Amino acid sequence: MANDVQKLQAIISHCKEYGFIFPSSEIYDGLSAVYDYGQYGSELKKNIRDYWWESMTRLHDNIVGIDAAIFMHPTTWKASGHVDNFSDPMIDNKDSQKRYRVDHLIEAYADELEAEGKKEEADALLSAMDRLLAASDFQGLKKLIEEKKIKCGISGTSNWSDVRQFNLMFSTQLGSVTDEANEIFLRPETAQGIFVNFQNVQKTGRMKIPFGIAQVGKAFRNEIVARQFIFRMREFEQMEMQYFIKPGSQKEWYEYWKKDRMQWHLSLGIPLEKYRFHDHVKLAHYADAATDIEYEFPMGFKEVEGIHSRTDFDLKNHQEYSRKKLTYFDTELNQHYLPYVIETSIGLDRTVLMILSEAYLEEDLSTTEKKDSRVILKFPPKLAPVKLAILPLIKKDGLPEIAREILGACRAHFRCFYEEKDTIGKRYRRMDAIGTPFCVTVDHQSREDQTVTIRYRDSMNQERIPITRIREIVEKEIF
């Protein structure tokens, strides 16, 4: 792969060609920053979602899951601060009319500087930007963009408007009457569904602090600069967990969750050097500490997950706006208090892109006699869309019948794929391209001694095994 931009392009094409991800409503030329998951993409996404869900809820005694509605009472978003604060500083290029998020515009320029070998200048620029963003100094941000002569990618000019705030929530109308009173928002984060249900869950589940509530679901943001495939979308999925704790213990639990979440990332088989923490200088309106777990995507290190110490900001505001008491009675301390919260918030689609970026490999298999190559998705077997391909060598002589018996014995336990068409070599390559870790081939010998050839995706090694061992070999790797 010549460079990383090409790698991202290659992944996008591969995803489309092999049924992972398509542009939404493509027959109408697509919809910007909205994507559909195809037959293998939806399986991959489901496996990641299940893996996160199980590790949060099943493997922690004190974390339970919920599934709250996307539509919420509009006051929710007043209380959460999203109506007033969920906006980004934007700037328009007056010649192209193109609108940019200020931080993205400056970051893209810093990337260019770094690519030219001017790392120090790039770092200084980013620090200056962080300082100005933290101080909400919009004039200073505009001055910085002008001083650096940052240009619009479309018009090529530096003819910029002033910097202004732009709210990222989508709104719609509830019911048939169109007026402001019926305006509701598509949730921009799943977290608020957890906060408004804090007492329902605590009381009905008899939960004792510390405890967590996890949720997976869609979120919507009217992103201005929506690019880089499924990295930044307007409709996306989040996997969030709010951990309710005693006030004053937030530092300790913040560190705990930083460690726990990094362990989860490493359990995906991705090496530590592909991750880094990025502590926030400019904190979101609800946080007293925040860090991002960044992964090295083909386009550089970028956020996959946020860990936020949200204090009692959300519960306090919901209590005030709803006029319902949301305090918790701590029987050990014999005291009522509003719990503090540590949040872990990971984007499911971004995790899909991370797993794809890590798995995608163009392998040169040329020998002195013959040029050859393959594209392979080296998914961890537990995340692979298909676990086992069952391939009769030919379509006759009783081989399909044996293969279908194997399919019948395995399909209740994990996802299998049956295929008779094309040469075995072509079928192996197709399975490599969708990341299937195991293929078994049924041949004439199978009729004699009830054995098959199992082929391992990564090593391409093959061995003869009894049919009765197939399930055990696959299950050993996928759980």
- Min separation Cβ 238 and ligand GAP, Å: 5
Report which of 263, 215, 236, 209 is spatially closest to residue 62, judged by C-alpha positions. 209
Task: Decide whether 241 or 452 has the Cβ nearer to ligand GAP.
Answer: 241
Task: Decide whether 68 or 346 has the Cβ nearer to ligand GAP.
Answer: 346
- Min separation Cβ 343 and ligand GAP, Å: 6
Task: Decide whether 237 or 432 has the Cβ nearer to ligand GAP.
Answer: 237
- Min separation Cβ 315 and ligand GAP, Å: 14
Distance of CA 101 to the CA centre of its chain: 21
Nearest residue (beta carbon) to ligand GAP: 347
- Min separation Cβ 268 and ligand GAP, Å: 15
Task: Decide whether 190 or 436 has the Cβ nearer to ligand GAP.
Answer: 190
Produce one character per residue of 392-418: b if its CB has 16 or more CB atoms within 10 Å, e if not.
Answer: bbeeeeebbebbeebeeebeeebebbe
Give the CA dihedral 253, 45, 267, 192, nearest 10 degrees: 0
Report which of 361, 30, 342 is spatially closest to residue 210, judged by C-alpha positions. 342
Which residues 6+ apart lie within 8 Å of 373 measured at CB? 362, 363, 364, 365, 366
- Min separation Cβ 264 and ligand GAP, Å: 14
Return left, alpha or beta for 63; rule: phi > 0 is left, psi -120 to 50 is alpha, else beta: beta
Whole-angstrom Cα distance, residue 335 to residue 333? 5
Residue 164: helix, strand or coil by DSSP?
strand
∠ CA 107-97-187 to the nearest 5 degrees?
A: 65
Q: Report whether 439 contacts 384 (CB < 8 A).
A: no
Helix axes 102-115, 138-147, angle to 10 degrees: 30
Q: Report whether 248 contacts 58 (CB < 8 A).
A: no
Task: Decide whether 192 or 451 has the Cβ nearer to ligand GAP.
Answer: 192
Residues for the chain: how many in total? Answer: 479
- Min separation Cβ 185 and ligand GAP, Å: 14
Residue 261: helix, strand or coil by DSSP?
helix
Distance of CA 274 to the CA centre of its chain: 16
Task: Decide whether 230 or 376 has the Cβ nearer to ligand GAP.
Answer: 230
Q: Report whether 165 contacts 85 (CB < 8 A).
A: no
Chain residues binding ligand GAP by CB under 6 A are: 189, 191, 221, 223, 232-233, 236, 238, 240, 303-306, 343, 345-347, 349-350
The enclosing H or E element of 290 equals strand 289-297
- Min separation Cβ 119 and ligand GAP, Å: 25
- Min separation Cβ 395 and ligand GAP, Å: 44
Task: Decide whether 308 or 427 has the Cβ nearer to ligand GAP.
Answer: 308
Task: Decide whether 221 or 427 has the Cβ nearer to ligand GAP.
Answer: 221
- Min separation Cβ 421 and ligand GAP, Å: 37
Task: Decide whether 343 or 443 has the Cβ nearer to ligand GAP.
Answer: 343
- Min separation Cβ 70 and ligand GAP, Å: 14
